[in-house]
Amino acid sequence: MQESQQLWLIPIFPLLGFLLNGTLGKRMPKAFINAAAVGSVVLSFLWVVKVLAALGSLEAPHIERYFTWFAAGTFSVGVDFAVDRLTSVMLLVVTGIGSLIHIYAVGYMAHEDGYYRFFAYLNLFMFFMLVLVLGANFLILFIGWEGVGLCSYLLIGFYFLENFATDAGKKAFIVNRVGDFGFSLAMFLIVIHFGTLDFGTVFGKAAAMTPETSAGVITAICLLLLVGATGKSAQVPLYVWLPDAMAGPTPVSALIHAATMVTAGVYMVARSSSLFNLAPIAMETVAIVGLLTAFFAATMGLAQNDIKKVFAYSTVSQLGYMFVGLGVGAYSAGMFHVVTHAFFKALLFLGAGSVIHACHHEQDMRHMGGLRKKIPLTFWTLCCAWVAIAGIPPFSGFHSKDAILLAAHAHAPWMYWVGVVTAGMTAFYVSRAMFMTFFGEYRGHAHPHESPFVMTLPLIVLAILSLGGGQIHIPDWLAPVLGEEHAAHETSLVVISVVAGALGIALAYFMYVVSPGLPDALANRFKTLHTLIYNKYFVDEVYDVSIVTPIAQGSRDLLWKGVDAGFIDGIVNGAGSLARGIGGGLRYLQAGNIRGYATWVAAGAVFLVVAMTVMGGIR
Amino acid sequence: MPTNFWPSAAELHRFMPEIILTLFGTAIMVLEPLTRAKKMLAWLAALALALAIGFALFAMNFPGTAFSGMIVADGFATFFRVLVCGVGLLTILLSLDYLDRENHQQGEYYALLLFSIVGQCVMASANELIMVFIGIEISSIASYVLAGYLRDDPRNNESAIKYFLLGSFATAFLLYGIAWIYGLTGTTNLSEIRAVLGNANFAQSPALVGLAAALLSVGFAFKVSAAPFQMWAPDVYQGAPAPVTAFMTAGPKAAAFAVFLRVFVTAFEPVSDRWVPLVGVVALATMVVGNLAALRQSNIKRLLAYSSIANAGYVLVAVAAHSEVGTQAVMFYLASYAIMNVGAFAVVSHFARKGERFVAIDDFSGLAERQPAMAALLAIFLLSLIGVPLTAGFFGKFYIFRAALDSHLVWLTVAGLLNSAIAAFYYLRILVVMYMHAPGEAAERLEPLSPTLNATIWAAALATLAFGVFPGPLLDLAGRWVLGR
Amino acid sequence: MSVILFGVFALIAVACAVNLVLQRHPVTSALSLIGVMGSLAVLYLLLGAEFIAAVQVIVYAGAIMVLFLFVIMLLNAGAEEKIPGKSLTAKLLGLPVFLIFLGVVAFLIQKYSSANAPVEFGAFTGGGPREVGRALFTTYLLPFEVTSVLILIAILGAVVLAKKEID
Amino acid sequence: MDLPLPLPIQAVPLSAYLVLSAVLFSLGICGFLFRRNLITIFMSIELMLNAVNLSFVAFSYQMKQVDGQIYSFFVMVVAAAEAAVGLAIILTVFKNRETLEVDDVDRLKL
Amino acid sequence: MLLNAVLFLPLIGFLIALILPTDLVKRFALGFSLLMFVVSLGLIGPVLANPGVYSFETDVEWINSPMIRYHIGIDGLSLWLVILTTFLTPLAVLISWNYIDRRIKEYYAFLILLAFGMIGVFVSLDLFVYYVFWEVGLVPMYFLIGIWGHERRIYAAVKFFLYTMVGSVLMLAAIVYLYLKSGTFDYTVILSQMASGQLKLTPEEALPLFLAFFFAFAIKVPLFPLHTWLPDAHVEAPTAGSVMLASVMLKMGTYGLVRYCLPLFPSAARECAPWIAALAIIGIVYGALVALVQPNMKKLVAYSSVSHLGFVVLGIFSFNQVALDGAVYQMLNHGISTGALFMLVGMMYERRHSLEIADYGGVANPAPNLSIVFLITTLASVGLPTLNNFVGEFLVLQGAAMANFGWAVFAALGVILSACYMLWLYQRVFYGRASEDLAHHMPDLNLREWVAITPLVVLMVWMGVAAQGFLSPVTVSNARTLEQTKVNVDFRVATPRTPAPEVARAD
């Protein structure tokens, strides 16, 4: 029996922070709020470090079982936490980046109403995210899964006075629910076939199944899990919520919608890798979904003017990359990208936040420009992220992206090529954003100023991580859990991808620095294409027309007004009216006339006489 | 031929309730012009009824027939004698105030009431068709007069003339039936008729027996207001003075059921295949007609009249069950119905004020806010009429439908139960008006109940609840005194 | 002889009854009813019911019908007006009901009744006052006494309904 | 009394009396349904009672019992009582409405 | 005995309330209902110790012909429902404190009387007694809706009464039929007769009987398409009426299904299960879709009840432990969360005198605490893990998936839709900018309201996190119920695909 590491403390710290801020925050000074919020996350981070240090190399998962959540018959679900190598990576990323972003938010949110509320939600998010990561069975993971969705909902809708924010929050939650629908069904199938939701047991039993019996079931389970993952990790076709989610405060975008929550899908698939390995069809689907997402999101990112939207599509696209990695069997590469992406994307968002902060909540890049000199620290840190995401060696993004691309090539070369094109586009739009924001002349009306130290400190830390994060050999650490990689290291392929990145940067430089009129000209030249991309392929509109409106209209006119009020109540009230009608008719027989009554008496007599003589045989 | 026709003491005991009532009735008649204290006469009548109840019960010590088998003092007779005397007692208590208000406080009223009850007691105990006929006539003729008691009120006149003409019309059929049964069997004694009909050598045509039974049942069906002979009931009940209506819906109706059961179950048992199914059909028609027509009524007396038709339908269901359990259910139901209906009419009669001005359902608007106690009492009676558990009406229905199911009348049971759900609607309307509407003019200016009336209503309500919680004693009684086959 | 008597008086009875139904004026109807009663009295005699025949003439045709005529006169009732009746039910169902009832009962009597022995005058002589009286005061003592209540009610009822206001 | 008469029927069966009774009874019904004067209607009822009496007496003859006649005696008593009360009621109706038209006595309805 | 005390206290309270002076009634009602609650807590320990059998049994003769016994008892299935009733009654009193301003005495009297009927339903073990309580509960609710409701209250009250009445009369017929077959109304005796084979119902008998019971329960639940009384009743009822109606009264239907329909008519229930499940699923999706487009808050919550209770019915007719446990748990959850929703809506109504969603918007700003509590309740209602509804829904869906995966697929759509309508409601009511008028008339929760709502919120979390504590007695009872559904099953029905085995015929 392993020594208990009190894993429960890891999520409990943020939960306490949430409770403190949630109940008392309103009446407390900011210092208290900061202490509770940041302190709890930092404590949690420290505890993670302590636990991991104590657990050492983690050859076998460390499991702690607390209590039975609920049980029905032989089926029972326990509140169990587990730490293995995969978890350890996620724990560090979540608590580490979480701490940084909390610190950043102290500065960023300083002048917002509902300061305490913000940190309460953020702490709550940390709690759920940690539960998600720590959960030792699917249902505990699902708690976290839903919980982070909730916090995402709350934080996207943080500016609840604005309709677009609350709309976006609602959309995020509901789209995620669609994914959860798949996840739930997957869990049902798992319970039906394995009788439990415990990771270890399920994976063990699945591995023990013969391929003939396992293929169908496990493929179904994996595909349903994938549906869940597409929701949370914003993959095609459920990615639509993520760009809208930028309505939330920027630290939220950084923490939830870039670094941690959206990678939960990747984590979940990686966690279930032993199932996916048994279901090649599901794997292939994962890869294709990822690829589609990566590509299309990148194209959509090309034409966005909102700086956060650009990064949002970038996130979607990068998540697509991760899925490609998962799908082609390179789980550890996918996870690697999760980590590096967490670094540089968090940085990008925080930097963007800093920019926005500087420009007094201006997010449209067309109203920026030339900020390089006004907020240099932000600029330089963002540059670190820029090179990282563009895949410039030897920075972090290069390593992880390369690992994925190589694995993809080993799996199917066409995937590699699509990936390379996407990489080029990625480099292009990030560069475009950088150029539009920091180069040229300032086109806005505010007086940009550098952010305070609490905000720049996290930027610096993340910049360092973005640059050097690639040196952390996460794939090696994860290999025992997620399987070895088989991709050969082909230099030519590496070069091609790097060149694609460089080309993207160059093109962006040419279009936005050298000849700034070109983009508009091109937009006019390829009007249709531009309109399509600019409007994100009208996907939201299509969803609206094909799903939302029919459901709303159908429910109102057909179901409610038609079936409910019309048909069912029609029958009910109709029966009432019929009875009353008959009653009314009967009343008119009762005309008050004695002779009429007597006629009925006589008629009744005739009836009785005939009936009684005939009944029983007329003899 | 027996030579000694002078009745024995036991025979006199078996007929004592009727004798007592007649004597008191006559005494009241005689005293009426001699005294101005008319209410004394009412109390005298009440005393007579109390004594009659006592003697009826006492007669149980001498079970058997009397006067050449003309009447029989058995449990069944006793039950209904007590019931009709009880109804009479309640009616007297209701009438005191009413007649005062209408300036018609006269001894004749109470005398007529007593005589009418004599008729009903005779009906309850009759063992001979001729006694049945005379009993019905005594009861009816007295009722005709009572219905038209306030002779200057056109509603009373109309009620009386309708009741009289149609009643006589139906009685003619009854009589024709008696003639036929006499012609076929040579006797009018119920048990002898049964013996003759049940005799394997019985040579007469069964179809003619059917004819006789049909003609008889016309008369009975009319008295119990079964469809399609029910049409007189709403008009008569609406037009008659409220206490009289209360009386008529409870007393004569119960007696009519008693005699109906006695004649058919005793005499026509051998040809039960001819009439039992028809009773089911008639029961269904009666329930449906009563309930549906009641849905649209706006006059509370008329509504209760339709409700009494519907209730007759339920009772007929139990009759159609054609079993001892069914008879028991009939007895229980009639007793409980009598209590709750008289109670309801008591409130209605008080509420109506002089000249029965406020008898529209809408007049009861907001009664619960102005006179919560009175509204609550009426609500108890109405809930009992709906058949909500813990009221007597519920057990009444319950026993009836149990009996019906016991006899495998599933369709009739289901139809009856659905009917009782429909019925809920119109009773609820009164509750709605009383409890959920703002007080109207009628509720605003309502003087409180007089002590006697108050006591009467409370007693009825408590009885309704008591039989709703502990129906056992009453049911046991009915079971012990049920009409044997 | 009994055939002729029956034929003649049955015919008179039916004719008078039809007349009662057809006549508009209540007095005519009343007189027709007396006719019916009279002829029935003869038929009672034929059937050996002497006492009843006598009572029929004395009480029924005499006393009761006189009461009727008296009331008709008192109320000065004229002929019914020639306006259509208000009851549609009676108009539509009346005749069929009448015909079916009569048809069915007559058919049943003809087809199934065992009472097809010829009626002979004098074959039954148990209907004299002596026999009736004996039955009435022995077997039927109770109903006889109880009818007194009926008479009381009749008196009382008539008084209640017809007497002048007390005030 | 058996005079040889040139009649198609030599003797009247009892059933003829019963049929006559039925005819009169039906005519009574008919009168109730079609006459519109309260008194005439009442007389129709009397006709029905008379018809019933005929049946009673006829059956009495058939049974060779006096009982049937006793019944018809009671019927007469009842008829007398009914007549007293009935006519009194008709009187009150007339006093209030000045009419004997049965169709006008229809205020209580529906 | 304690259970008798719990059962009859409300009746006593009702009578006392009737004779008390009006100005004392409110406080009396609160104190008395708290007393009821405290007394009922005493039931928990003994029942938990032995949840599979009836504790606190009282079995005395009530009426001797037909033999009707006053037989009551409580087991793991009914325990929480009884507690729920007594728990909600004081809260209902609190929530009515200012809301009810006329005919106060009658109001609180009826409110207390309501508990009498409902507790009686949950504890009776004699079919007749059960029916009596079933109907008795109807009357106070009818008055509560009809007297203290909104504009169309009378229509709603009458509809409520008649709908239920139609169903229950058929049930009465079935009860009487069972009595005639078995010679007893005693539920436990009937079951043991069935177990011993002494009482056998032919399929031709069992099916109509089952349907008669089922129809009554389905109306009460309410199951699609018999649900249309519910939105009307809820919309028109006063807050406490809605709370009691949704939280407890609807459970009378589902409780009846579990307690009576399954054990008494196992074959018929299994035979009908696919159809019923289909109706339940239609109800889940349909209720959710219709809730989506409601312009009235209470109506929305009412339709959401239709949807939620569809889960319960689905769970019941999935015939396995997981689903049944989930269903029973979901009954409690729905009682808590929907009760809370109605309370909150009622609080808003007290402030704004409107139930139309369009009349709100931006409530979060003037009343942040209210909106947070509402949010938690909303989240509980949409089945967020760690809040109560999730456990129930998960178990139901899991069990349904075990019975038929297709059921779970369609039913799970309801989970998506619940998020849609609840969050949209939340957004429209609480988010956005409050109008001047609204902001002035929307004070935050006051102390009384806090007291009323906090217990519910605590329970939402408690039941969501420590579900096992609540579930364990339920599981034991349900295991027994499922055991009973295997008695006398015509196996031809239970396993349609396998040819009828000879063994099965032998019993």
Inter-chain touch C119–D50, beta carbons under 8 Å: no
Residue A570 has pLDDT above 80, yes or no: yes
pLDDT bin (cut points 50, 70, 90) of residue A412 is: confident
Residue with tokens 């004098």: C122
* CB-nearest partner of E412 from A142, A181, A191: A181
What ipTM was reported for this prediction? Answer: 0.89
Q: Where does the pLDDT of residue A487 fall: very low under 50, low under 70, confident under 90, or very high at 90 and above?
A: low
What's the whole-number mean pLDDT along residues A498-522? 83
**Cα–Cα distance for residue pair E295/E292, rounded to 1 Å:** 9
Mutate to test the interface with D, among C5, C6, C16, C52 (most CBs of D within 10 A): C52
Query: Does C167 score more than 80 pLDDT?
Result: no
Q: Which residues 473-492 of A are in CB contact (within 8 Å) with B?
A: none
- Of A142-156, A369-383, E202-216, the one with minimum mean pLDDT is A369-383
Residue-wise pLDDT for A588-605, tens only, equals 778 788 888 899 999 999
Is the pLDDT at C2 greater than 90, yes or no? no
Q: Quick check: E430 and A160 in contact, CB under 8 A?
A: yes
Neighbouring residues of E226: CB distance < 8 A, sequence distance ≥ 6: E163, E167, E215, E218, E219
Which of B405, B418, B427 is most worth mutating to test chain E (most E CB atoms within 10 A of its CB)? B405
The C-alpha R_g of chain D, in whole angstroms, comes to 19
pLDDT for A486: 60
Task: Show pLDDT as tens, one digit a residue, over chain D (110 residues).
Answer: 445 555 566 678 888 889 999 999 999 999 998 888 888 899 999 999 999 999 999 998 888 888 888 998 999 999 999 999 999 998 888 888 888 888 888 887 76
Question: Which stretches of chain B drop beneath a pLDDT of 50?
Answer: 1
User: For residue E2, what are its two tokens?
Assistant: 């304690």
Distance from the Cα of B342 to chain D's closest Cα (Å) equals 22
In our burial notation (b when 16+ CB lie closer than 10 A, e otherwise), range E35-58 reads: ebbeebeebeeebeeebbebbbbb
CA distance B174 to B485: 23
> Given the structure tokens 């007069």, which residue do they identify?
B145
Question: C122–D1: do the CB atoms touch at under 8 Å?
Answer: yes
Query: What is the Cα–Cα distance from A165 to A170, expressed in whole angstroms?
Result: 9
Largest CA distance in chain E: 77
Residue A579's CB is within 10 A of a number of other CB atoms, namely 17
**Residue E499: per-residue pLDDT:** 37
Residues of C in contact with D94 (CB under 8 A): 75
Residue of chain E whose Cα is closest to the Cα of A139: E385
Average pLDDT in the A81-87 region?
88
Between CA A14 and CA A32 the distance in angstroms is 14
User: Across-strand partners of E55?
Assistant: E74
CA distance D32 to D39: 10
Chain B residues within 8 A of D59 when measuring between CB atoms = 179, 182-183
Q: State how far the Cα of E246 lies from the Cα of E238, in Å rounded to an integer.
A: 12
First-to-last C-alpha distance (Å) of chain E: 40
The pLDDT assigned to A2 comes to 61
β partners of residue A65: A80
- In sequence order, which residues have a C-beta less than 8 Å from that of residue E427 and are 6 or more positions away? A157, A166, A167, A169, A170
Query: How many CB atoms lie under 10 A from the CB of residue D63?
Result: 18
Mean pLDDT of chain C: 85
C-alpha–C-alpha distance, residues C100 and E52, integer Å: 70
List C-alpha distances in Å: B436 to B183, B338, B385: 60, 28, 19
Closest CB to C101: pick one of A591, A598, A602: A602
What's residue E166's pLDDT?
84
Which chain D residue has the Cα nearest residue C136?
Answer: D70
Flag residues of chain E having pLDDT under 50: 491-507
E217 touches E73 (CB < 8 A): no
Distance CA(E123)–CA(C100), nearest Å, equals 61
Scored b (16 or more CB within 10 A) or e, B50-68 reads: ebbbebbebbbebeebbbb
User: In this structure, are residues A158 and A172 in contact, taking their beta carbons and an 8 Å threshold?
Assistant: no
CB-based burial label for A32 (10 Å; 0-12, 13-18, 19+): middle
Q: Is the pLDDT of residue A138 over 70?
A: yes
- Confirm if E404 and E277 have CB atoms less than 8 A apart: yes
Residue-level pLDDT at E505? 36
CB contact under 8 A, E65 and B413: no
Distance from C-alpha of E138 to C-alpha of E161, rounded to nearest angstrom: 7
Instruction: For residues C5-16, give the mean pLDDT.
Output: 90
Say yes or no for a CB contact (<8 Å) between A72 and E475. yes
DSSP letter, residue A62: E
Q: Give the pLDDT of residue E497.
A: 38
pLDDT at site A555? 81
Residue reference for tokens 């119109």 = B426
Which tokens in the block code for residue A570?
């029609």
Backbone angles phi, psi at D74, to 5 degrees: -60, -40
Residue E344 DSSP SS3: helix
**B interface with D, Cβ–Cβ below 8 Å:** 130, 133-134, 137, 141, 144-145, 148, 151-155, 157-162, 164-165, 168-169, 172, 175-176, 178-180, 182-183, 186-188, 234-236, 238-239
Selecting from C118, C147, C153 the residue whose C-beta is nearest the C-beta of D74 gives: C147
Eight-state DSSP code of residue C60: I
The neighbouring-strand residues paired with E63 are E68
Coil, helix or strand at residue E125 = coil
Count of CB atoms within 10 A of residue E433's CB? 14
| Spatial contact of A236 and A296, defined as CB atoms under 8 Å apart | yes
For chain E, give the number of residues. Answer: 507
Global pTM value:
0.88
Cβ partners under 8 Å of residue A599, min gap 6 = C87, C89, C90, C93, C94, C97, D33
Q: What is the mean pLDDT of residues A336-355?
A: 88
CB D1, CB C1: distance < 8 Å: yes
Q: What is the arithmetic mean of pLDDT over A394-405?
A: 86
- At residue E493, the pLDDT reads 42
List of chain B residues whose C-beta atoms are within 8 Å of the C-beta of residue E173? 401, 405, 410, 413-414, 417
Cβ count near E473 (within 10 Å): 23
Let me know: does D56 contact D71? Beta carbons within 8 Å.
yes
Instruction: Give the nearest partner residue to B428 out of E106, E161, E173, using CB atoms.
Output: E161
Contact of A590 with chain D, judged by CB distance below 8 Å, is answered with yes
Q: Tokens 């895949």 appear where?
A: A391
* Nearest of E287, E449, E455, E464 to residue E371 by alpha carbon: E449
Determine the Cα–Cα distance for residues D104 and E270; give it in Å rounded to an integer: 64
Please determine, for residue A534, whether its predicted confidence score (pLDDT) is greater than 90: no
Vertex A375: Cα angle to A370 and A379 (nearest 5): 80
Instruction: Using the structure block, give the residue that is written with the tokens 């008469």.
Output: D5
Helices B75-101 and B324-352: crossing angle in degrees, nearest 10, is 10
The first and second tokens of residue E282, run together, are 């239609």
| Tokens read off for A294 | 């990566």
Q: At A1, is the pLDDT very low, low, confident or very high (cuts 50, 70, 90)?
A: very low
Q: What's the distance, CA A76 to chain centroid?
A: 28
| CB within 8 Å of chain B, chain A residues 525-584 | 576, 579-580, 582-584
B154, B165, D37: which is closest to C75 by C-alpha? D37
> Quick one: pLDDT at residue A485?
61
